[in-house]
Structure 1
Amino acid sequence: MATIIAHPLTGSGLSGTITAPGDKSVSHRSLMFGALAVGQTRISGLLEGEDVRATANAVAALGATVVRTGEGTWTVDGVGVGGLSEPEKALDLGNSGTGARLLMGLVAGHPITATFTGDASLSKRPMNRVTEPLSRMGAVFHGREGGRLPMTVTGPDLAMPIDYTSPVASAQVKSAVLLAGLNAPGVTTVREPKPSRDHTENMLRQFGADVTSRTGDGTNVVSITGQPELSPQTIVVPGDPSSAAFAVVAALILPGSDVTVCNVGLNPLRAGLFEVLRAMGGRIDVLGERLEGGEPVGDLRVRGGALKGTIAPPANAASMIDEYPVLCVAAALAEGATEMRGIEELRVKESDRIAVMVAGLRAAGVEVEEHDDGMTVHGAGGKPPAGGCSIDASHDHRIAMSFLVLGLAAAQPVEVTGAETIATSYPAFTAHLQGLGATIETR
């Protein structure tokens, strides 16, 4: 089990330029949709963390030909919609909830059987939110109590299109149903209470699928017409805003910092954190805005300075659901309280992120209140938290990275155990922060 220690930064803050690693959500989807196209899809900028590699292995096991041709560059020779084959072995998705849930949707739309497994963390996470609508389409699921992995999925001879109203705004639920609907005759529709990440819709359109979206009357409605022939594409994966968030927050909370994070995806359904940080007084400038692979992208120049507490709007939770742990770190250094509510989904992520963050912040000397649906962090107005603690990452990469960022601004070092999980999403995390001037050591 890896242990990483972040030491308090001395001097004039962080400085330099890094490039954000490839967006994990887009990386997963580029591999999956490439497998469903007829011909060869070329991908550059692919995130090569363990989660995405697990998806690449699973897609290959389902019949596609997946080849790494260089750093971040891959090709996928697809088998077409309806062409997936039954894997010979269980599909091990490691720590990836996105990979598992979206691939369940793919398998559920095909007349094949596949067993899904994962690591200790993924095996604790319930899959009911996707198995329930997929069952309505004809798929059969056999898993552990509570809808947990290992789980075997058998798709029907012919998947049935459905009109499904989701109780939550979840890109994973929406995407799983749409992917099953690809091989169903007719139109499959998903209704959600507010818009969730739209990477699936954007990329499916790029591959040639007939996907419509409309928002109104308090719902977001997405429909897909089944059984299209998808055309192979050339995909340039934008940088991951969830990964970029760690360097952004580190620069904001360390006075004197001047850091540029290049190639950050700025899809408005993913960039909610940057809006909240600006509301806290964070100096974040967007440079060189452009489009990459149908997604808005820009370079973020971030400078350190005083932050103030705020209320993170619950309505924006879906646009920053993975960034709340690192937002807690910014809040710990701000003046006053930062309230984060409407984020109960965090209790069923890689860990119970609400409980784990609250316990870790308290161990580091930060005042925080826990709520059923979130937390309120009381900042010390720039005064360094005590630190001098050891944090168990609980098999959660975002928890690990968040507390290492906190350690840079603490009075005493912060140690994180179980930090090897960082490799699932951001293998270069330590090297990037070290290159900006941070002192981080691995034991």
Structure 2
Amino acid sequence: MIKLLHAEKNGLRGVMTVPGDKSISHRALMFGAIADGVTEIENFLTSDDVLHTMGVFKNLGVEIWHEGTNVRITGQGINHFVKPEKPLDMGNSGTSTRLLMGLLSRLPFDMQLIGDQSLSKRPMKRVRQPLALMGAKISLSENETLPGTIHANDHLSGITYDMPIASAQVKSAILLAGMQAEGETKIIEKIASRDHTERMLRQFGGEITSKNGVITVSKQPKLIGQKISVPSDISSAAFFIVAGLITPNSKLTIKNVGINPTRDGVLQLLKRMGAEILITEITTSGEPLADITVHAQNLNGINITSRDIPSAVDELPIIALAATQATGDTVITGAEELRVKETDRIATVISELTKIGADIDALPDGMIIHGGTPLRVPEESALLDSHGDHRIGMMNAIAALITAGDVVLTGEDAISVSYPGFLEDLSRVMV
């Protein structure tokens, strides 16, 4: 339990760098582990989620050296994985679980998957079902959640799969299985989801095509170890971007942020709300990068629909906070996916922000945020809760900056799932 900071009159100011991208750090570990030769990763995110992915590969016999934000993987290909001596612990990481269900679905031994209490409530049927069509043998609990077992299997077949929802995790699980399957695997996306898996497969020497919403992959030849520079995570940067927009007298620059067009939804939504955001692009051969500069300014309410969700789903809690300070209402619909994140993020966003005066109505698939609401504690202090969800914990910390009165946060340890050092970085830009 900690007392959160309130912004001083001079606001937030400075130049900063947020940690490496979580999604890309996960995938760099995975591809490095199945490639031949050495993969070196710099600006690796040392968060709880990604370290659980690293632990899985160590348990599968992969040699991994790690110091600070640098990682070196000595890969020998997926056929050299060894049977783990204990269950593979996914911690709180849905990305680890869902992607590895696909990647490990053609190994000659059983592997048990376990997770923490929160992860063990999250749905895995959406991944198990298409993988089963490919021949994977995966059993889950009665509720289609962890714990589960990936059973020994020596054959996968390509399928054509029409994605019922936009999900990069489900798509990636199918692609990682399709890389090992006989015949072609085709995925049909009505709405594009983040494409880090496709980009990284190409970087490691693999072949994959994407045209008119159809992604096609076949059994891959040998992948080769690479040097990977992980961009700063736009999902982490989003908290400081919004903080700079809604905290009076602020001006912040966040360096080297990944602006992959399948991930930059938070920037597009904020621009639609009227935000002036300076994006200074950086020339790179990998993921697109930019320095992002924001200053305090007025925002307007907007409608956010299902087409906006895939590229901004992780940023919707902090967008909701921004909307409380906008002129007019912001209506979010088509965001059912928020209900099955680390928490029910529709419920927890509303629960926490209304404690400090926000006016928000719940919808089955989203919320209506009534803007222009000054945030203040109802009595001497307010006790906010992360609910064990890193993004809710960070949202609460940014909300406290502009809340009149003392705000205390419980469950702050959850923030380390994606951003160790977040509160320290926030204190550094307080003038």
Identify the TM-score tier after normalising by the shorter chain. Answer: over 0.9
1:300 paired residue number? 292
1:238 paired residue number? 231
Question: 178, 182, 186: which one pairs with 2:179?
Answer: 182
What is the rounded CA distance, in whole Å, between the counterparts of 1:334 and 1:386 in structure 2?
A: 19
Residue 12 (structure 1) aligned with residue 10 (structure 2): yes
2:375 paired residue number? 384
Question: 368, 376, 391: which one pairs with 1:398?
Answer: 391
Question: 1:310: how far off?
Answer: 1.3
1:164 paired residue number? 161
1:47 paired residue number? 45
The answer to whether the 8 A contact 2:35-2:223 is kept is yes
2:200 paired residue number? 203
- Residues 43-73 of structure 1, C-alpha deviation per residue, up to 9 Å, x if partnerless? 00100011111101101212221111x3211
Code of the aligned partner of 1:224: V
Structure 2: runs of 5+ lacking an equivalent: none
What is the rounded CA distance, in whole Å, between the counterparts of 1:413 and 1:333 in structure 2?
A: 19
Question: 1:333: how far off?
Answer: 1.2
TM-score relative to the length of structure 1: 0.94
Question: 1:279: how far off?
Answer: 1.7
Residue aligned with 2:140, SS: strand
Greater CA drift, 183-192 or 369-378:
183-192
Question: 1:82: how far off?
Answer: 3.5
2:55 paired residue number? 57
The answer to whether the 8 A contact 2:155-2:181 is kept is yes
1:426 paired residue number? 419
Residue aligned with 2:146, SS: strand
Code of the aligned partner of 1:32: M
- Residues 309-362 of structure 1, C-alpha deviation per residue, up to 9 Å, x if partnerless? 112243121001000001111011111111111110010000000011111122
2:106 paired residue number? 109
Question: 1:5: how far off?
Answer: 2.5
1:214 paired residue number? 211
- Residues 60-116 of structure 1, C-alpha deviation per residue, up to 9 Å, x if partnerless? 212221111x32110111121433322111111111100111111111132331111
1:146 paired residue number? 143
1:89 paired residue number? 86
The answer to whether the 8 A contact 1:43-1:237 is kept is yes
Question: 1:385: how far off?
Answer: 4.1
The answer to whether the 8 A contact 1:208-1:230 is kept is yes
2:275 paired residue number? 282
Greater CA drift, 19-28 or 206-215:
206-215
The answer to whether the 8 A contact 2:207-2:220 is kept is no
Residue 23 (structure 1) aligned with residue 21 (structure 2): yes
- Residues 221, 5 of structure 1: CA spacing in aligned structure 2 closer, same or farther, 3 A cutoff? farther
The answer to whether the 8 A contact 1:63-1:79 is kept is no
- Residues 356-381 of structure 1, C-alpha deviation per residue, up to 9 Å, x if partnerless? 11111221111101101101111126
2:35 paired residue number? 37
Structure 1: runs of 5+ lacking an equivalent: 439-443
Question: 1:155: how far off?
Answer: 4.1
What is the rounded CA distance, in whole Å, between the counterparts of 1:83 and 1:318 in structure 2?
A: 35
The answer to whether the 8 A contact 1:51-1:99 is kept is yes
What is the rounded CA distance, in whole Å, between the counterparts of 2:163 and 2:386 in structure 1?
A: 31
* Aligned residues between the structures: 429
Code of the aligned partner of 1:370: A
The structure that is strand-richer by fraction is: 1
What is the rounded CA distance, in whole Å, between the counterparts of 1:365 and 1:275 in structure 2?
A: 27
* Identity percentage of aligned residues: 43
Residue 317 (structure 1) aligned with residue 309 (structure 2): yes
Code of the aligned partner of 1:255: P
The answer to whether the 8 A contact 2:180-2:218 is kept is no
The answer to whether the 8 A contact 2:178-2:185 is kept is yes
What is the rounded CA distance, in whole Å, between the counterparts of 1:113 and 1:20 in structure 2?
A: 38
Question: 1:194: how far off?
Answer: 1.2
What is the rounded CA distance, in whole Å, between the counterparts of 2:233 and 2:29 in structure 1?
A: 16
Residue 71 (structure 1) aligned with residue 62 (structure 2): no
Residue aligned with 1:115, SS: strand
1:441 paired residue number? none
Question: 253, 258, 276: which one pairs with 2:246?
Answer: 253
Question: 1:33: how far off?
Answer: 0.3
TM-score relative to the length of structure 2: 0.96
- Residues 128-155 of structure 1, C-alpha deviation per residue, up to 9 Å, x if partnerless? 1101111112222222221111111114
What is the rounded CA distance, in whole Å, between the counterparts of 2:13 and 2:208 in structure 1?
A: 43
